[in-house]
Structure 1
Amino acid sequence: MRERLLNVGLEVWLIPLLLVCLQRQVHTQTPIPNGNFEDWPACLCDPPGWTTNNVYTPFEFILVGPADPYAGNFGITGKADSSAQFGEIVAPEITSDSITVTVRPKTLSGYYKFKPNGGDKFKAAISFYKNNALIGEGMFEDSTTVVRYTQFTIDINYTSGELPDLAVVSFTIDSSEVDKRVHAGSQFWLDELAFDRVSSVSAHDDLVPQRMRLFQNYPNPFNPATTIRFAIPKRSLVTLALFDPLGRKVATLVEEELQPGEYKVRFDANGLPSGVYFYQLHAAKFVATKKLVVLR
């Protein structure tokens, strides 16, 4: 009898411990407005959502322009060049318009190439504001030659527990010399910029499901967040991903091995345009797909 009581006590103690261990956060990607530079009219102008230090009137030189992409049709490039107007070598600069945010991203990521000259550095910076006060920032620098598109990640450090309301991203070429003069020919390429997005995933209850199930998200339609539930009866490698109507993956919400149980995923669609999307669950040989609607 004593052994049976110990076993029961151990079982009761293990269940809540398991639930606590399964609670975690999953990071997915929130695209930056026109962060892939696909929206670029066929005109002598900056890409929408961005401001550069190009000189258009009178037209003298192009410091920043369309480039070969990491993905899609367009990337962006900036090259340090001489300027008769300014009488010196000018570093390319590209800065985002103010980006409206409602969450606290942990990182900014993107893909870049870089061809330095004279020790120049590729420099990326991000700043977050609340009521025009700076509350978070991060920076990335690299002075090495990067021939193929490579991912960079900037960790964002916050000085306040507040949620930011605006963000600004900027890219340039900086000098490692004391006089801060860049060298002609230094050039960067840039594409596919995104903030991370945090989705919470937790066990729903302590009952082992009898079969695999993917439930309809709720609420639906939604703005900006919804909850997706699924159940697995045995330990499985689980992938839960979001796709657009063309079948392109927008985000990976879950991708790991999970214990038996019922789970719920809180998904924040901030940064996604309105429209119909599809979420798909893969677990062992089970595949299920359902539709959700983002409504702004």
Structure 2
Amino acid sequence: MVMNGHTHSYERGEKEHVHYLVSGGGGGGLDDYFVDYDHITFSEGVHHFTRIDVDDDQLTVTATDQHGQQVDQFVVNKYASLDSEDGELPEGMGLDQNFPNPFADSTTIRYSVVDPERVILEVYDTLGRKVSTLVNRNQAPGRYIVTYSPMHLASGQYTFRLTTGSATLTRPFTIVR
């Protein structure tokens, strides 16, 4: 991960398996320019602070504005591209039901991809609005595990959506606070 900051705006992206984060400091003003770089996946001209939580093989980055509202959150996991039990590639793309479900604090999502391609794992509310992006990167064929801790979401029904160039899979889940 590369972090840098020269304005108060917030941007994140990924290029060639490196996460880029522009956040904070330097005394500059808010930028209102149009982001036209393919690797920038999120940009917001807002005063904010960024918190990074490290837990074993997971790094969670959360940007929060001056009013305490979450601007963005993403998770970087240390991935194992093959199932450690049998060392074989999956036969098909899959998105398992998260566990536990329902949950209050965190849940585990397992998925598999069969081709090297861009993989996007997102969370949507019941109105179809994207509320989180958990994975947005090129991945090798294999089985992957993501831990999701959506402290910014209220109790309710949501959907995980796994998208690749070849298919889209969804699974519903419930948060209970």
**TM-score bracket for this pair, using the shorter chain length:** 0.5 to 0.7
SS in 2 for 1:202: coil
- Pair 1:225–1:144, CA change in 2 (3 A): closer
Aligned residue in 2 for 1:261? 142
Q: Give 1:285 shift.
A: 1.5
In structure 2, the gaps of 5 or more residues are 2-7, 11-22, 34-43, 54-63
Q: Give 1:142 shift.
A: 3.8
> Bigger radius of gyration, 1 or 2?
1
Count of paired positions: 135
Aligned residue in 2 for 1:232? 113
Asked if 1:150 is matched to 2:48, the reply is no
In 2, the alpha carbon distance for the partners of 1:157 and 1:239 equals 21
In structure 1, the gaps of 5 or more residues are 1-24, 26-108, 112-137, 159-167, 172-190
Aligned residue in 2 for 1:209? 90
Aligned residue in 1 for 2:171? 290
Q: Is the 8 A contact 1:110 1:192 kept in 2?
A: no
- Pair 1:285–1:145, CA change in 2 (3 A): closer
Q: Deviations 1:32-55 (Å, cap 9, x if unpaired)?
A: xxxxxxxxxxxxxxxxxxxxxxxx
Aligned residue in 1 for 2:77? 200
Q: Give 1:231 shift.
A: 0.9
CA RMSD of aligned residues (A): 3.5
Q: Deviations 1:44-78 (Å, cap 9, x if unpaired)?
A: xxxxxxxxxxxxxxxxxxxxxxxxxxxxxxxxxxx
**TM-score scaled by structure 2?**
0.62
Give the counterpart letter for 2:45 in structure 1.
T
Q: Give 1:270 shift.
A: 1.2
Aligned residue in 2 for 1:186? none
**Greater relative contact order: 1 or 2 (C-alpha under 8 angstroms, separation 6 or more)?**
1
Of Structure 1 and Structure 2, which has the larger fraction of its residues in helix? Answer: 1
In 2, the alpha carbon distance for the partners of 1:143 and 1:262 equals 43
**TM-score scaled by structure 1?**
0.39
